[in-house]
Structures are given as C-alpha cells and as structure tokens.
Structure 1
C-alpha cells in the first residue's frame, strides 16, 4: 500500500492532518504503522520463506524488562490444530483460515527452569509483578512482529478470544506451568476480494494528556468520535451504533467478559499465584 500520510491521518481520525504532522510525510515507518488494519479474510497462500523468522527477530528486538525476555511464541500451521484453536477462541473462522496462527505466551517457565538448573529458588515469579512483566514483554514483542509482517505485505489480526478457555488452550499447546497464552495472531496474505478498512480511533485529545491527566473535554470528544465511528460502521455495511453505548454495554455485566471472569482462578491453576 502506498497511501500518503495525509490520507492515512484522514482515515484514522476523520479529519485533516495538522501541518506539523505532515512534515513527516516521507517517513515510511510512520506510514506503515498508521496503515494498520485488522484483516479477517485471507488467501490460502503460505507465508514466504523466512517471513516468520524475520518477524520473530523483530519481536526479539523489542524492549524487555531487565532483559528477562519472559515471553515465547508458538507458531501453529497445522490446519487441524488451527481449527481446534478457532473453536476455543469463540468460533472465529479466520483463526482456521489464516495459514499461520501465532500464540503469544507470557512465559515465566523458562526463568523457573533456569533457577532449577542453578539449584536456587524463584520466589519472585509468584508475584503479580512478574506476571505483569511477562504480559508487557509479550505484548511489546507481538506488536513489533505485526509491524514486520505488515511491512512484508501480510495482514494480521489479534485474537483475544484465545483467553476464553485458558486451560484447554494450555493443554492444546502443551504449555508448562507458569506459561499462559495471552492472545493469538492470525497472519497471511489479505484476500483482495474482502479488503479491510482503517478503523477510526478516538481523537488524540482524548488520549494524549500533557503534564497531567485531564478529562475536562472528554464528553465532547467522545460525542465527536461517536459520529465518526458510526459513519465508519455504515460505510462497512454494519448496523448504525454509538461507540460509547456499545462500550457501556460491553462493560456493564460480567457476561461481557465471555467466561473470562474466572481468569484469576485459571491463572492460579496454570502456575501463577499472583501474590
């Protein structure tokens, strides 16, 4: 894709880019990042040789807390396993359709094995901070991989539904204790017959705070976004809706968590005491 920065800004915010932002129009990295869209329709064509490895190299180039590198990633290409993971992820068909599915793992197990080989304790791994560290490390790594895949002309979409059944997913992927599948990632060539669009985001002023948190203008900014997000919905042939109302319904009751309200219990069973 060779979209201009001005066009990408317009698509992302539904407004013209400020003059100062256009000073970076020739920055290919910024354009690639702003061109991100979630792809849910894929060709069956496999990834080019080396694409997975270069994406993992990009992932391993992300920042990692204290160089602990507390994450792993499992590449799933077997169609039958992808189909089972699709079922566990809420019957998301693109999990089975994409030629590559990556399960991103918050992985404290490697550090525990390291401690065992050194005949010492690993008490710090029992604490919530250690789990948070692993989730942050894995998330930073995954986003670097997404940027790399997209630069190669591939499409991606994250799959949070991989957390719907944590214990069943752990069994399917043969995860050891202290390893947790945070989210999945579909990867493949986008189907040109079903192109994905850039989804508008909240106005920058709703998320960018200067010197301290300030929600004074939040209500008007969200009202503005409701209109822009609704226009996108209708352009995509989807039902008209106010983003704010949809989000409120999503968080109103535990049913909106799709079974994940027992996550703490599942994490304990998978080796994370979260002290």
Structure 2
C-alpha cells in the first residue's frame, strides 16, 4: 500500500496532488550552497535511491563519481566553464554512462565471438540509464532538504575530464550534479504549457505554435520580474539563439574514440 498522503485527490475541479507531486513541483536549480557537509550516510541513501530507477533490461549501465576534494573540484570547475558552484558545493557528482562494467561482466560468459557494446543503441541505453538514476537522486536529495543543479559543462572538455577522473573506455561523463544545502534558491521557473508536451493518441503538431506563444508570454513576464526589468526575452527567441550556436561539436569524435557509437 502506498502512503495515504500520496494518494489524496485534490480539489473538486479535478486537480490531483500528493506530497511527492508537490515536492517535484517545487524543484529549482540551486547555485548557492551553505558551508555544511553532506554526510556519507546521506550520499549513500541518495545514490541507493538512484539505483532503484528504471533501467533497460537491468543493465544498470551507469556509474557516479562523488568528488569532495577541493583541489579536484577546482580542476573540474575549470574544465566545465568555471562554474563557481562546482567548487562551492560540498559534493560534486559526475554521472557517467558506463558500458565498461557490462562488457567485463559479460566477457566471462562469451565464446569469443563478436559483441555489440559499441553500437549507438547501447550508447542510448547507457545515457538514458544515467539520466533516470540521476533524477531519482535529485528527488531523493530534495526530500532530505538538499538542493542540486545539473552541470552539462562536464562535456566541454570531455577527454581531459575523463582522464582526470580515470574513466576507462566505454565510460563517458553525461553531466555533473552539485549537491548540498541551499544558501539561496531561485523562484520557480515556468514550464511549457501541459498541452505543449502532453499529446493524446498521436502527436499534435498543429497545437505547437499556439502553445509556444502562450509560453513566450509567461516566460517573458517571469524574466522581467526576475531581472527587475533588465531582461524580458521570449523563450522562443532564446531557443533561436541557442540553436544558432555550435555547441560541443567534439562529442561525436570523442564518443567514438571512447568506444561508443561505432555502429
């Protein structure tokens, strides 16, 4: 049986909520941390919760490296865009897609024939596994009063960062995660309307322009308020700028060099 509080219907208008849903709806990225340690017991509980995430065919194709050492965090920050909160947070987690362990585990049972750990499909499996586990960890951390922010910047200098962390072939850093007690929390950033992402029976392409326009209005108002009127750029304009910039074009060559995506 589930927790009774987690099975409560909402108001008569049909809104449904629970303690878990409300926790998820309060999520914000945390970029300022208290000078307060995260215990080994907390870290074990968080990663233990991450391990219970869904995983394709039970391959569990991910690993996470917890970094507390100040000098190492400084190096990781430098390789990830000089993001100060990597150095400030008490624990920095590097979530990795990991097919190295899978290949080793299977090797003892093979007949010496060809294996397929280097396919694009296996790369997708490992990357998705890492993301699902990390999101479990994020929710677990927030349930303990901690905060997180994901760091895609670990892919800025993937080869150098992999060498620094001793990552073997068939392991790559998917993203980092700062972990600690929040010293400051941003307001809730609005998301796309539900109708933009929830489709019924088939994809509704015709609805997208209207939903994006509605979100542009909400996002512009949010940014105007958050920046005290200094910035009020529509979401679609921000995305246009993003797509116009080449980002991490080295990743294809890097992944192939690490043994991924060769087929």
**TM-score between the two structures when normalised by the length of structure 2:** 0.91
Q: Deviations over 1:59-116 (max 9, x none)?
A: 1101111111111000000011111111111111111111110000100000111233
Does structure 2 conserve the Cα–Cα contact (< 8 Å) formed by 1:206 and 1:215?
no
Q: Does 1:84 align with 2:75?
A: yes
Q: Deviations over 1:145-169 (max 9, x none)?
A: 0000000000100001111111011
* Partners of 2:162 and 2:12 in 1: CA distance: 47
- Change in CA separation of 1:266 and 1:235 when aligned onto 2, cut-off 3 Å: same
The answer for the alignment partner of 1:13 in structure 2 is: none
Q: 2:170 aligns with which of 171, 174, 178?
A: 178
Q: Any idea what SS the aligned residue of 1:261 has?
A: coil
* Partners of 2:174 and 2:124 in 1: CA distance: 11
Q: Any idea what SS the aligned residue of 2:182 has?
A: coil
* Partners of 1:215 and 1:123 in 2: CA distance: 40
Q: Does 1:68 align with 2:59?
A: yes
Q: Does 1:156 align with 2:148?
A: yes
The answer for the alignment partner of 1:203 in structure 2 is: 193
Q: Gaps (5+ residues) in structure 1?
A: 1-16
* Partners of 1:64 and 1:161 in 2: CA distance: 25
* Aligned ranges 1:120-199 → 2 under 5 Å: 120-121=111-112, 123-191=115-183, 194-199=184-189
Q: Does 1:261 align with 2:255?
A: no
Does structure 2 conserve the Cα–Cα contact (< 8 Å) formed by 1:106 and 1:179?
yes
Q: Which has the higher helix share?
A: 1
* Partners of 1:145 and 1:56 in 2: CA distance: 6
Q: Any idea what SS the aligned residue of 1:58 has?
A: helix
Aligned length: 250
Q: Does 1:248 align with 2:233?
A: no
* Partners of 2:249 and 2:12 in 1: CA distance: 42
- Change in CA separation of 1:209 and 1:163 when aligned onto 2, cut-off 3 Å: same
The answer for the alignment partner of 2:3 in structure 1 is: none
Q: Any idea what SS the aligned residue of 1:125 has?
A: coil
- Structure 1 runs of 4+ off > 6 angstroms? none
After superposing the two structures, state which structure 1 stretch, 33-42 or 223-232, moved more.
Answer: 223-232
Q: Any idea what SS the aligned residue of 1:183 has?
A: strand
* Partners of 1:244 and 1:141 in 2: CA distance: 30
* Aligned ranges 1:44-63 → 2 under 5 Å: 44-63=35-54
After superposing the two structures, state which structure 1 stretch, 237-246 or 127-136, moved more.
Answer: 237-246
- Change in CA separation of 1:196 and 1:126 when aligned onto 2, cut-off 3 Å: same
Shift, 1:271, TM fit? 1.8
The answer for the alignment partner of 2:14 in structure 1 is: 20
**TM-score between the two structures when normalised by the length of structure 1:** 0.87
Shift, 1:19, TM fit? 2.3
Does structure 1 conserve the Cα–Cα contact (< 8 Å) formed by 2:29 and 2:185?
no
After superposing the two structures, state which structure 1 stretch, 37-46 or 237-246, moved more.
Answer: 237-246
Does structure 2 conserve the Cα–Cα contact (< 8 Å) formed by 1:131 and 1:274?
no
Q: Any idea what SS the aligned residue of 1:216 has?
A: helix
* Partners of 1:274 and 1:209 in 2: CA distance: 34
